[in-house]
Structures are given as C-alpha cells and as structure tokens.
Chain A
Amino acid sequence: KQEVTQIPAALSVPEGENLVLNCSFTDSAIYNLQWFRQDPGKGLTSLLLIQSSQREQTSGRLNASLDKSSGRSTLYIAASQPGDSATYLCAVRRGETSGSRLTFGEGTQLTVNP
C-alpha cells in the first residue's frame, strides 16, 4: 500500500526566504506526482504535475523535483511571500487506469511572516 509522508508538518519562515518542502512515498512505481496548495476553508489548487519520466517542473517561483528511485519529491519556493502561506499537499498516482487514485500526504502548513 502506497504511503505518502510530508515533513515537516508545519514550517514558519520570514518573508523573502527560499524554502523546500519534502514529500516521500513508499512505492516508487508511480505514474505521476502532483503538488497542491490548500488555503484555509478552501479547496485544493493544483500547482505542478510531474510525470514519472520527468525530473522536475517549474512554474514561476515554484520548482518541483522528482526522484522516483529514492521515493522523494521536493517543492522549492523561491523568495517566499506572505501570500504563499497555505497548506501544501503532495499526491502520487500509481497507474494509468481509471482506478488509479491519488494518494495524499497530510501536508505541510507553511506560514510566511512579513
């Protein structure tokens, strides 16, 4: 059974700092990995999708990397801003079939202090 772990559970940083969020998964046979952002009381917003054949994806100040063999992904946020404060979730998808659901980590709650 796939298990996804995100460390740390919470992180507080000053504005402007570069930071890394970690995601690890136990089964390296994944199809893709997706990073989401969740604001309090809101739904999930997709940030980046990394296919199993890719090593990284970038969107603006965000860069996500994937190392399948070691079962790890990182989300790098450059020059953090207070608006980046949210919970960040990673989710892995096992296969290509219709039943291949996303398995989620419990998230890292990020606070960026002005």
Chain B
Amino acid sequence: DAGITQSPRYKITETGRQVTLMCHQTWSHSYMFWYRQDLGHGLRLIYYSAAADITDKGEVPDGYVVSRSKTENFPLTLESATRSQTSVYFCASRYGPSNTEAFFGQGTRLTVV
C-alpha cells in the first residue's frame, strides 16, 4: 500500500532488551522523522533524516539509534530499553525542505516492562 507504514503496531518488551521499530514510506520523500508522544509532553522529535545516510538528533535522542541506508526506510532502535521509553512512537515523512506537509504513520505503541 502506498503511504507511510510502521511496524509493529504494538510491542511489549523487557527492560534492557534491544528493540527496533520499523518505518517505511513509498513516496520517496527525502525527509523522515521519529517522534514520541507522551501525556504532558505532546509529540517530541527523537531523530530526523534529510536523505539516505544523513541523520541528526532531535530533541530527545538519548537511548535511541537510527539508520537510513535506503530512502524509503528509517528504523529506530532502542539499544537497551528502559521503562521511560514506554510511549507511542510516530514516524513521519516530508517531501523536501520546501513548504510541504508532513505525513505521519499510524504509530507504534511500545511498552517496556
């Protein structure tokens, strides 16, 4: 299907485990983003990417790693999950630096126990 898809939709993991959230978009958008959504904080940017092999930190990057070997994929890895990383994670993409809309995936609800 066209658009931006995230997997898995729901994930429960244990503290200390590594977990990877996947994001795939079919528009060939240059820019991709990872946000987390928490009560009391709204959506906050974790990492973003301007193109394949170009990534940079956002507002709350600690404990997360990203990669972008292909334009269409932007996985987010929690190297050693902590309970504070329990959240809903959203991936987004945008065509370019110009005045265009950002489009969001359906989200991944991650629970760290």
Report A's interface with B, CB cutoff 8 A. 4, 31-32, 34, 36, 41-46, 49, 51, 89, 91, 96-102, 104-107
Contacts and interface: CB of A to CB of B under 8 A. Distances in A.
A107 B39 CA distance: 11
Contact of A49 (B40, B50, B101): B101
A46 B107 contact: no
Given A49-B101, A96-B97, A101 B50 contact: no
Interface of B: 31, 33, 40-45, 48, 50, 56, 58-59, 90, 92, 97-107, 109
Contacts of B45: 101-102
Contact of A34 (B59, B102, B106, B107): B102
B52 to A, nearest CB: 13
B99 A31 contact: yes
Contact of A102 (B56, B97, B102, B106): B102
Given A31-B99, A49-B99, 11 more contacts: A32-B99, A44-B90, A89-B43, A96-B98, A98-B48, A98-B97, A101-B45, A101-B59, A102-B33, A104-B42, A106-B41
Nearest to B50: A98
Nearest to B31: A98
B41 to A, nearest CB: 8
Contacts of B58: 101
17 contacts: A36-B104, A43-B105, A43-B106, A45-B104, A51-B99, A89-B43, A96-B98, A96-B99, A98-B48, A98-B50, A99-B56, A101-B33, A102-B102, A104-B43, A104-B44, A106-B41, A106-B42
B7 to A, nearest CB: 13
A43 B42 contact: no
Contacts of A102: 33, 43, 45, 102
